[in-house]
Amino acid sequence: MIRTVIMWIVALTIAAPALPLILVHAQTKDETPASKPDAAKVEPAKPPEQFKPEQQASKGSVTVGGTLINYDAYAGTLVVHTKDWDDVPQNADKDEKNQPPEASMFYVAYFKSDNKGAPRPLTFLYNGGPGSASVWLHMGAFGPKRVVTADDSHTPAAPYSVVNNDYSLLDVSDLVFIDAPGTGFSRLSGKDREKAFYGVDPDGQAFADFIVQFLSKYGRWNSPKYLFGESYGTTRSAVLSNILETDREVDLNGVILLSQILNFNFSADGPEFNPGVDLPYQLALPTYAATAWYHHKLPDAHRELAPLLAEVEHFAMADYAQALAAGSALPPEQRHAIAAKLHQYTGLPVEYIEKADLRISGGEFEKTLQDESDTTTGRLDTRFSGPTFDPLSKEADYDPQSAAIDSAYVSVFNDYVRKDLKFGENRVFKQEIDVSKSWNFLHQPPGSPFPLPEATNVMIDLAIAMKYNPELKVMLNAGYFDLATPFYEGIYEMRHLPIPTKLQNNIEFQFYESGHMVYAHEAALKALHDNVAAFIVKTGNSKTK
């Protein structure tokens, strides 16, 4: 979904930031009845039924590192409102169309049952999209149960394999998986509900409201607190960390980022719509090289990935950057030399590279790398491949990894949440919703008097959170085979945060031979668990270890 989202960001904030959105309402005959019914026969209007918090409790156990952990699970909802909501409304309107907007946000919390003494760390986890539920992190990474999928190919249809999750984070932290408003079992109601919750800033406010309520409901204000966001969830984490730190007076121990995107100007999806900004091509190049290496498409042999990536990163920010900056002034012989070098690092034909003006988007690379066999390369995880839908298309028409594993995750969670967590009977679980046309991508960064008419960039939000709380630690996790949010893009963003040099020491980097969903590769999942667990242990402070 994030590629579609980025295309809309470009269209709405770069191409025409000043154009107003005009809604036209046409009245029809049905809206003005010829005669009113007899007043005596009209039933009195009933006030709409508003959301109420829910909770279903259950128990379970998981074995992590050979140790049995008994846990209490809570599946439920909390009701959140917009930033300016008055929690003691003076005039409750009986007309549902005029009810203030609210969201019922679904969560699943896991608490270690026999915990005694100091409060355990508490980690809030969510996926991104925007428009995605947290099913992926829940069933693939850190929940007590894990679905098993094929490593880099299509997982056969049901029945799927569900196992004890040896890599659950319950060994070091209690966990709260949150579904964003409108996703999963979360729902919206009230007037202008999409406008109230679908946007960079209102989404951050909704999550902040949820977290503050959760801390009160479960008495966890004195626990070490962590945010764990994936993909657009990292965008959310930057906004949310600033809100919690500066507005809600909630100091965080750590912000854990997986597959980061903070500045959408750097995305490899649709950079051709933002001419003059060439960084997306540079930052995606190391991922192109890693992908070509994995599929044995490089013309020269490279036994190990790490030395190759170091070489490509240097080229991307030196010779390649200079060539792109020259634009049409680049001499033909230099242009050909750069194209030949790009061929060495991507495996794409020199003629194709020159025809693309040395600039290849993510979708073009995915479509072209294995074109000779009518095979499309994955986007979320470029280790995956699948049959090409349209051999004549310019870009990839779908993502082979999503096609390969989505059914397993969604099917297993729908079964697990109802049978084990006792939640969701007679309800539809929405693993993903399309918010691309209704999402407000404009963001009002700290210090700005109004939202800025430009592509979403929340780097300053994370920077302000780190400066407001100099003890805040940040961890970036990224996969080498991720073309949705290339790993080198995350490095570049972190190195360019507007923070004092000494605060750069608060940032930790971890990389994996996997894709966007790092945990979809079991060896990478183990490493991810170990790295995140170590991060939580060392930042939880001495009183809570």
Per-residue pLDDT tens over the stretch 136-183: 999 999 999 999 999 999 999 999 999 999 999 999 999 999 999 999
- The total number of structural domains in the chain stands at 2
Kindly state whether residue 40 falls inside one of the protein's structural domains.
no
Looking at residue 527, what is its pLDDT?
Answer: 98
Kindly state whether residue 42 falls inside one of the protein's structural domains.
no
What pLDDT digit, counting tens, does each position of 291-308 carry?
999 999 999 989 999 999
Cα distances (Å, whole numbers) of residue 2 to 386, 521, 526: 20, 21, 26
Alpha-carbon radius of gyration of the chain: 24
Pull the structure tokens for residue 336. 């050909």
Is the same domain home to 257 and 299?
no
Q: Of the residues 341, 367, 401, which one is the last residue of a structural domain?
A: 401
Evaluate if residue 88 carries a pLDDT over 70.
no
Evaluate if residue 29 carries a pLDDT over 60.
no
Is the same domain home to 142 and 243?
yes
Kindly state whether residue 199 falls inside one of the protein's structural domains.
yes
**pLDDT band for position 436 (50/70/90)?**
confident
**pLDDT band for position 542 (50/70/90)?**
low
Evaluate if residue 350 carries a pLDDT over 60.
yes
What pLDDT digit, counting tens, does each position of 441-471 carry?
999 999 999 999 999 999 999 999 999 999 9
- Please tell me which residue, 241 or 2, carries the higher pLDDT value: 241
Evaluate if residue 522 carries a pLDDT over 60.
yes
What are the strands, taking DSSP E only, across 342-409? 375-377, 385-387
Kindly state whether residue 503 falls inside one of the protein's structural domains.
yes
Looking at residue 115, what is its pLDDT?
Answer: 77
Average of per-residue pLDDT across 492-509? 98
Q: Of the residues 401, 435, 463, which one is the last residue of a structural domain?
A: 401
Is the same domain home to 351 and 409?
no
Evaluate if residue 261 carries a pLDDT over 60.
yes
Is the same domain home to 396 and 438?
no
Report d(CA 322, CA 362) in Å as an integer: 21
- The model's pTM is 0.90
- Average pLDDT of the chain, as a whole number: 90
Is the same domain home to 417 and 511?
yes
Average of per-residue pLDDT across 76-105? 76
Is the same domain home to 228 and 283?
no
Domain of residue 104: give its range. 54-86+95-265+405-544
Evaluate if residue 89 carries a pLDDT over 80.
no
Is the same domain home to 150 and 180?
yes
CA dihedral defined by 226, 230, 233, 235, rounded to 10 degrees? 100
Our measurement of the distance from residue 526's CA atom to the centroid of its chain's CA atoms, rounded to an integer in Å, reads 21
Neighbours of 433 (CB within 10 A): 20
What pLDDT digit, counting tens, does each position of 362-403 carry?
999 999 999 999 999 999 999 999 999 999 999 999 999 999
Alpha-helical runs (H) found in 381-485: 400-419, 459-468
Evaluate if residue 26 carries a pLDDT over 80.
no
Kindly state whether residue 30 falls inside one of the protein's structural domains.
no
Evaluate if residue 268 carries a pLDDT over 70.
yes
Which of 36-40, 278-282, 332-336, 503-507 is predicted least confidently?
36-40
**pLDDT band for position 31 (50/70/90)?**
very low
Kindly state whether residue 242 falls inside one of the protein's structural domains.
yes
Is the same domain home to 413 and 440?
yes
**Percentage of the chain surpassing pLDDT 70?**
88
The domain that holds 70 is classified in CATH as: 3.40.50.1820
Q: Of the residues 401, 424, 442, which one is the last residue of a structural domain?
A: 401
Q: Which amino acid is at 230?
A: E
Evaluate if residue 34 carries a pLDDT over 90.
no
Is the same domain home to 122 and 259?
yes
Kindly state whether residue 64 falls inside one of the protein's structural domains.
yes
Kindly state whether residue 134 falls inside one of the protein's structural domains.
yes
Is the same domain home to 66 and 174?
yes
- Please tell me which residue, 35 or 199, carries the higher pLDDT value: 199
Report d(CA 269, CA 286) in Å as an integer: 15
Is the same domain home to 76 and 221?
yes
Is the same domain home to 286 and 428?
no
327, 315 in Cβ contact below 8 A? no
Candidates 480, 461, 484, 513; CA nearest to 266 is: 484
